[in-house]
Amino acid sequence: MSERKPKASRQAFGEALADLGATHPHIVVLDADLAKSTKSELFATKFPERFVECGIAEQNMVGVAAGLGLAGKNAFCCSFACFVAGRFETIKISVAYSGGNVKIVGTHAGVGIGPDGYSQMGLEDLALMRTLPTMQVFQPSDEVETRQIMEYLASHDGPAYLRLTRQELTPMHGPEYRFVPGKIDVLAEGKDVAIFATGGPVMHAMAARAALAADGIDAAVINVPSIKPLDHDGIAAWATKVPLFVSVEDHNVLGGMGGAVAEVLASVPRSARLHRHGILDVFGESGEPEDLYRKFRLDGPGITAVVREALGR
């Protein structure tokens, strides 16, 4: 029953990567002196000959991964979301434009990293990665989903970005769950409001749903693991079923999942109104992850309050 215990998505990633290495000989893994933190060390211990330690030099790591990908490997290139997405232009040219088989893995995403503070927080990575043609962008909400996405990435030939948490995530899915790229994942139906959540806040959106139900508000919770490709049709269908969307993410509200949903709604006539929630274009700060989630209203009570305000109830 280990799959039912809370687990950080970085840990689930590291375990899946080490398992997939056995069946996918073309997988190689690169890290930039953070293998212990990104959990790529689990692969490194098992397959040292296929692990490339690049030192604290992320842009070279991204380029080396691109070369490995162009020469037939499936290169997983790991660091904190903040540091790897920060090498954006190398990702743009050497990875995306060159079309190499590279998976950029950004861990410790969002304010959820906690006490290290803003300089270590990836809060703009989704916005950056989403703008690169051919780049797919995924963010799992728990262990089962992380493993499912990893199985997809192990076989997918092309560039992708995977965004992972430092903090532990409550299971949202049973072993029967099947992740489908380009599809939303409806965790709970509802008719008054649809909460679209991705990554760390998904479990808190479910807690908010329970609190809202006690007040007679029927909230759907929709997990968005596939930010690109995005489920345009699925989101558009919900836009005519409920009057209000609330998007929730541990990322700047500019350009992230909420921004992507807004782009869909812009093309749907007579659609739901959207309230985008997340980090409201401000810098993060140090603090325990739970304290930061409280401050930025990404925990259950915070999301509950945000939804109530948006509904005017």
* Site of interaction with other proteins (CB under 8 A): 28, 49-50, 52, 54-55, 57, 59-60, 62-73, 75, 89-90, 92-94, 97-99
Count Cβ atoms below 10 Å from residue 91 Cβ, excluding itself: 28
100 to 59, 63, 160, 274: CA distances (angstroms): 15, 10, 10, 36
Q: Which is nearer to other proteins, 89 or 309 (CB)?
A: 89
For 62, the 3-state DSSP assignment is helix
H or E element at residue 246 = strand 244-252
Closest distance of CB 17 from other proteins, Å: 17
Closest distance of CB 110 from other proteins, Å: 27
- Which one of 58, 124, 145, 249 is the catalytic residue? 58
Amino acid at 18: A
Closest distance of CB 227 from other proteins, Å: 24
Count Cβ atoms below 10 Å from residue 313 Cβ, excluding itself: 12
For 51, the 3-state DSSP assignment is strand
Q: Which is nearer to other proteins, 49 or 176 (CB)?
A: 49
Closest distance of CB 24 from other proteins, Å: 14
58 assigned to active site: yes
Count Cβ atoms below 10 Å from residue 190 Cβ, excluding itself: 19
Q: Which is nearer to other proteins, 65 or 197 (CB)?
A: 65
For 19, the 3-state DSSP assignment is helix
Per DSSP, the residues of 68-101 read HHHTT-EEEEEEEHHHHHTTHHHIIIIIIITT--
Q: Which is nearer to other proteins, 52 or 305 (CB)?
A: 52
Q: Catalytic residue numbers?
A: 58
